[in-house]
Amino acid sequence: MQADGQDMVLYTNPMSRGRIVRWMLEETGQPYRVELMDYGQAMKSEQYLAINPMGKVPALRHRGVVVTETAAICAYLADAFAGQGLAPALDDPRRGSYLRLMFLAAGPLESAITIKALGVDVPAEKSGFVGYGSHATVMSVIAQEAAQAAPWLLGEQFSAADVYLGSQILFGLKFKSVEPHPAFVAYAQRLMARPAWQRAAAADDALIAGNG
Instruction: Tell which CATH classification among 3.40.50.2000, 3.90.580.10, 3.40.30.10, 3.40.47.10 matches the domain 8-85+197-208.
Output: 3.40.30.10
Say if residue 5's pLDDT is above 60: no
Q: What is the pLDDT of residue 210?
A: 84
Average pLDDT estimate for 75-88:
97
Residue limits of CATH 1.20.1050 in the chain: 95-194
Mean pLDDT of the chain: 94
Q: Taking the model in full, what pTM does it have? A: 0.94
Say if residue 169's pLDDT is above 60: yes
Q: Which residues of 27-63 are buried (b: 16+ CB within 10 A; e: fewer)?
A: bbebebebeebeeeebbeeeebeebbeeebbbbbbbe
pLDDT digits (tens, 9 = 90+) for 100-158: 999 999 999 999 999 988 998 888 888 888 888 999 999 999 999 999 999 999 999 99
Q: What is the pLDDT of residue 123?
A: 87
pLDDT band at 198 (very low <50, low <70, confident <90, very high): very high
Domain at 95-194, CATH class: mainly alpha
Evaluate whether 90 touches 100 at the Cβ level (below 8 Å): no
What is the three-state SS of the chain? CECCCCCEEEEECCCCCHHHHHHHHHHHCCCEEEEECCCCCCCCCHHHHCCCCCCCCCEEEECCEEEECHHHHHHHHHHHCHHHCCCCCCCCCCHHHHHHHHHHHHHHHHHHHHHHHCCCCCCHHHHHHCCCCCHHHHHHHHHHHHHHCCCECEECECCHHHHHHHHHHHHHHHCCCCCCCHHHHHHHHHHHCCHHHHHHHHHHHHHHCCCC
Q: What is the pLDDT of residue 122?
A: 87
pLDDT digits (tens, 9 = 90+) for 57-67: 999 999 999 99
Q: What is the pLDDT of residue 3?
A: 52
pLDDT digits (tens, 9 = 90+) for 14-58: 999 999 999 999 999 999 999 999 999 999 999 999 999 999 999
Residue limits of CATH 3.40.30.10 in the chain: 8-85+197-208
